[in-house]
């Protein structure tokens, strides 16, 4: 029996059976496809194998088995990712055409994988943002990653407050900060550092990491407020590098605090930065420091009333000097006395008629004499005891001779014009060339009281009497200086 089919060659019964067995094996693998064809009525009403063919190129080059004019089996795979095999046409079609733009892998009847930002739900790709706001990657239950400026919180995206506002905002929405970190205050939408909470009560301004200004008595060092007294001993106001004001009885010296006694001596009890202002008992100010109070005693000084008087003649001792600015001539040398040329003569009475009564401090009459201009200059430049010295007035000198202290070794060491009156006898001599009448008068003592431009008053000792007189200022007399006690 010959069976007519669409195949190009006739089969024997045995060959037909073998072919049907092979076809059965092949179609077993494609049961869904074939089943679909049967369910759609393709094979309905057919008899036997009539309509089957493996020559299906007219339908599609990729079709391997067809029935009548429909392909029922195609090549197994598409070679391009994101495509699936459409069985009726045996074409590779994009998954996106059938399952939407987010499907990246599929079969003809289902999507199998989705783009990031979507998840697979019953063969459909669902956009994460449609289920979870601001979500960029998720599954069906929760979000996995979020958009910039958002962060995950229990599977949902919430605003990252540190990105919307500042780093110290702890809760917020997209429009406002609501809470801040401890020690920060919410001002508008900003979290501002509470400087006193972070850096202590002395801090008045700060950044998040450091204090920038402090209250008085403190300075910023290493980002915190440190007291001036801890940075600099006894300091009340300062910067980080130097003290600017001291506490109590301390004074500022080169950026640090010290005591008055340390800077100006142990006898200084009060001071400012440049000088001592108060001295301890027994001391007085001399310039910026304290010196011991002057003691008007000893071989050089004696007290008469409220005055301290140089006991010896000025120029007769190294402690009673003649300052520079005065011309000093030796015995017999000429010094032309005038207001601009101040003259003294030393040792002028040597060889004159004089004696030593044994009670004086001098040897004979070897004394220094000066004109009035030199005498005034010598006393004004004398600085013993840190005091101001001068020539005595005639009223101050009036009782010197009558006072018992004016005579002898314990007195002013005056010398007499005549002998026999308990004092050295020193008559005048002519060894002071250039002075008035070229004479020297060691028994006379200049006063500071003047008469006109050329005369000044003096006192002299004569036969125990203390006598005032006047003379040209070019005379050569002894000199005593005084200071008020």
For every residue of 335-395, DSSP letters joined together read ----SSS-EEEESTTTTSSEE--SSSSSSTT---EE-HHHHHHHHHT--GGG---BPPPHH
pLDDT at position 49 is 53
**Contact status, residue 183 vs residue 190, Cβ threshold 8 Å:** no
465: tokens are: 């009497």
pLDDT at position 43 is 40
How does pLDDT run across 75-114, given as a tens digit for each residue? 767 778 888 888 777 888 898 888 888 898 888 888 989 9
Cα 117 to the center of its chain, rounded Å: 55
Residue 58 has a CB neighbour count (10 Å cut-off) of 10
How does pLDDT run across 35-56, given as a tens digit for each residue? 344 334 444 333 335 678 777 8
Task: Tell me the longest C-alpha to C-alpha distance in the chain.
Answer: 200
**Neighbouring residues of 207: CB distance < 8 A, sequence distance ≥ 6:** 193
pLDDT at position 386 is 81
392: tokens are: 């005595």
pLDDT at position 117 is 87
CA distance 173 to 394: 102
**Neighbouring residues of 56: CB distance < 8 A, sequence distance ≥ 6:** 63, 64, 65, 66, 71
pLDDT at position 337 is 92
pLDDT at position 293 is 79
- Closest by CA to 445, choosing from 457, 428, 453, 431, is 457
CA distance 400 to 459: 9
Adjacent-strand bridge partners of 477: 370, 441
Phi, psi of 407 (to 5 degrees): -120, 155
371: tokens are: 């004109």
pLDDT at position 422 is 60
Q: If residue 10 lies in a helix (H) or strand (E), which one and from where to where?
A: none
Q: What is the CA radius of gyration of the chain?
A: 65
pTM equals 0.46
Low-confidence ranges of the chain (pLDDT < 50): 1-23, 25-48, 351, 357-361, 404
């Amino acid at each position: 029996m010959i069976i007519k089919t669409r195949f190009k060659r006739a089969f024997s019964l045995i060959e037909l059976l073998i072919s049907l067995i092979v076809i059965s094996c092949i179609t077993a693998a494609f049961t869904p496809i074939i089943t679909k064809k049967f369910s759609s009525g393709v094979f309905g009403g057919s008899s036997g194998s009539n309509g089957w063919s493996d020559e299906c190129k007219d339908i599609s080059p990729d079709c391997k088995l067809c029935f009548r004019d429909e392909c029922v089996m195609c090549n197994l795979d598409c070679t391009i990712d994101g495509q699936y095999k459409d069985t009726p046409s045996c074409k590779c079609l994009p998954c996106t055409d059938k399952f939407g733009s987010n499907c990246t892998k599929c079969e003809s009847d289902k999507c199998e994988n989705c783009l990031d930002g979507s998840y697979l739900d019953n063969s459909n790709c669902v956009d994460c943002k449609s289920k979870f706001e601001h979500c960029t990657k998720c599954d069906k239950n929760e979000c996995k990653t979020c958009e910039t400026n958002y962060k995950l919180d229990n599977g949902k995206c919430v605003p990252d407050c540190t990105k919307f506002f500042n780093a110290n905002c702890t809760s917020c929405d997209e429009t406002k900060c609501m809470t801040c970190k401890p020690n920060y205050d919410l001002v508008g939408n900003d979290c501002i550092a509470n400087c006193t909470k972070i850096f202590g009560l002395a801090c008045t301004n700060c950044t998040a990491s450091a204090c920038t200004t402090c209250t008085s008595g403190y300075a910023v060092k290493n980002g915190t407020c440190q007291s001036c007294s801890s940075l600099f001993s006894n300091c009340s106001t300062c910067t980080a590098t130097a003290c600017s004001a001291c506490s109590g009885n301390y004074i500022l010296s080169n950026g640090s605090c010290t005591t008055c006694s340390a800077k100006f001596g142990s006898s200084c009890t009060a001071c400012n930065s440049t000088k001592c202002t108060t001295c301890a008992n027994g001391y007085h100010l001399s310039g910026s420091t304290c010196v011991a109070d002057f003691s008007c005693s000893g071989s050089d000084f004696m007290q008469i009333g409220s005055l301290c008087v140089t006991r010896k003649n000025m120029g007769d001792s190294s402690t009673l000097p003649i300052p520079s600015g005065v011309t000093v001539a030796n015995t017999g040398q000429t010094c032309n006395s005038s207001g601009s040329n101040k003259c003294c003569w030393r040792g002028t009475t040597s060889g004159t008629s004089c004696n030593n009564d044994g009670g004086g401090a001098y040897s004979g009459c070897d004394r220094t004499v000066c004109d009035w201009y030199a005498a005034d200059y010598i006393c004004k430049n004398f600085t013993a005891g840190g005091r101001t010295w001068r020539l005595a007035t005639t009223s101050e000198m009036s009782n010197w001779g009558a006072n018992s202290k004016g005579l002898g070794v314990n007195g002013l060491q005056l010398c007499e014009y005549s002998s026999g009156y308990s004092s050295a006898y020193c008559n005048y001599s002519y060894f002071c060339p250039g002075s008035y009448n070229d004479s020297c008068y060691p028994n006379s003592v200049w006063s500071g009281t003047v008469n006109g431009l050329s005369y000044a008053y003096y006192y002299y000792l004569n036969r125990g009497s203390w006598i005032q007189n006047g003379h040209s200022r070019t005379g050569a007399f002894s000199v005593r200086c005084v200071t008020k006690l």
